[in-house]
Amino acid sequence: MEDFTYKNTKYRSAVVVNGMSMAGPRAHFRGMGLSNEELRKPFIGIINTHNEMHPGHVHLDKLAEQVKAGVSEAGGVPFEINTISICDGFTQGHAGMCSVLPSREVITDSIEVYVNAHMLDGLVLLGGCDKIVPAMLMAMLRINIPAILVTGGPMMPAVYQSKSYATYELKEMAGKLLKGEISKEEYEEMEGIMSPGPGSCAMMGTANSMSIAAEAMGLTLPGCAGAHAVAGKKKRIARQSGVRIVSLVEENICPRDIVTQEMLELSARVCVSVGGSTNITLHYPAIAKEGRLHMTMNELGEISKTTPYLAKIKPSGVHTMLDFDEAGGVGAVLKALSGMADLDLMTVNGKTHRQNADRLTSWNQEVIRTVEHAYAPEGSIAVLHGNLAPKGCVVKQSAVVAQMRKHTGPARCFECEEDAVKAIYEGAVKDGDVIVIRNEGPKGGPGMREMLTATAALVGMGYSETVALITDGRFSGATRGPCIGHISPETSQRGPIAALQDGDRISIDIDGGSLSVELSEDEIERRLKKLPEFQYKITEGYLYRYAREVSSADEGAVLK
């Protein structure tokens, strides 16, 4: 081996191993215990977001062991690499939420930087929650080397007095406590059981919506999205993913080979058919951009219009993610949609969606309905336009009661979420009101905070069927009721929402696709011109850089 050639040059990692000048890296590898034989094998990065302060990721160290075992079994060399993962649950209702959506870009960039610096040959990515899964999908498509995603899996549902609950319902119980409908002791007892173990929150929130999206994009093994965090099935999928990545490297099958425009649209259709979160309108455009494809908020709205609503999972219904998994999961949804979508698209396991779905042994059509017996003719989200949202806004229509799909009421304006929450709990909101929360957009927030504390307060105080809420911020996937977010342009960019005053008559028409205020364009412009110049709330650090460079919500809040 006089020329010091250890590795076939078809592997990216050959540049780190081959040649006399690479003696230093080879010495490092040998110092870490690698043999000459291992230097010849493909190097597989295990990108792990394991985190001891995150219930959705606290178990990923164990899944990583399974992945590494699979990689070694298949003839690769695994290297575990970590990056950050923020838990939305810890950041609700305070300034910490400003950092959550911006973390998506940090995760994506960190993966790109490491993988391209160390010239890894393939990747298995482990993540499970709201911004982490989309960040990993973005990274996979940006870097475009052989890669497979293992999502961490949902948390088991909580059981209290023989009834299943998800974590978000605890926030709603705060209103019941204040109204005297439950005792302090009952509330504390529920606190102790609402998060029963590891995994993403047990509902069709953003985490599980995006895990379903990833499987429907063909970038996970079949059944991965529904396999719960504590299930043996999840461990098997992790190990099988480690085995499969070595074959993907040998065959040079990359994410962009799988995620075509057609596959992206199929994935979106699956997502809205099961009650997917409004946050998908931020993540799909960002993912599409990295894959050199297109998917706008308006395009998602059009897909939802032509997609039947097949599964009512909490918070939109009574079924849990465990019910969804046991009913057949993504495979059953694909079978249900087979008449209106092309399933003959190749996935990461080398088989088509149709081949994978045909292997299902059961499909519970009470939980995942057929198209003919759909809950509704449209999917979970509706995109609205009007003089309050010239560039659009979004609502999770699957969680809105019939009588609030069309509503007109007086504006109650608040300059931040905290002020609105205080007013709700103090009983200062009246039936028929339209709460306006502004200065919470991508630039103005900064970081476009979730308004879960406000929406949960509305439910807990009994306003979910009588009061609407509109904001340039965003919502948790746990949100239910007539809550409209992502209003674009946002307040900081002098969108019409900035012109609103208490008492202005706001009209919401979900079926008609509109959000408007009973003001003339001249009056809106007159009010906007009187507003002071926008000032960034944060003027240093990452959030300042983010606020300066981030696009509007209708474009996915991506960095320019």
Which parts are annotated binding residues for Mg(2+)?
Answer: 88, 130-131, 450
Spatial separation of the C-alpha atoms in residues 119 and 10, rounded to whole Å? 12
Decide if 311 contacts 372 (C-beta within 8 A): no
- How many C-beta neighbours within 10 Å does residue 192 have? 10
Hey, what are 452's tokens? 């879960």
Decide if 280 contacts 268 (C-beta within 8 A): yes
The active-site residue out of 241, 304, 476, 552 is 476
Taking Cα atoms as reference points, which of 268, 269, 260 lies closest to residue 292?
A: 260
Hey, what are 306's tokens? 């032509």
Strand ranges, E, within 282-426: 381-386, 389-396, 406-414
Q: Which residues pair with residue 357 across a beta bridge? A: none
Decide if 242 contacts 68 (C-beta within 8 A): yes
Strand ranges, E, within 311-388: 381-386
Taking Cα atoms as reference points, which of 260, 302, 272 lies closest to residue 374?
A: 272
Q: Which residues pair with residue 410 across a beta bridge? A: 505
Hey, what are 361's tokens? 């042994």
- How many C-beta neighbours within 10 Å does residue 540 have? 8
Spatial separation of the C-alpha atoms in residues 355 and 370, rounded to whole Å? 19
Spatial separation of the C-alpha atoms in residues 451 and 395, rounded to whole Å? 13
Taking Cα atoms as reference points, which of 125, 150, 155, 154 lies closest to residue 140?
A: 125
Whether 476 is catalytic is yes
User: Which residues are the active-site residues?
Assistant: 476
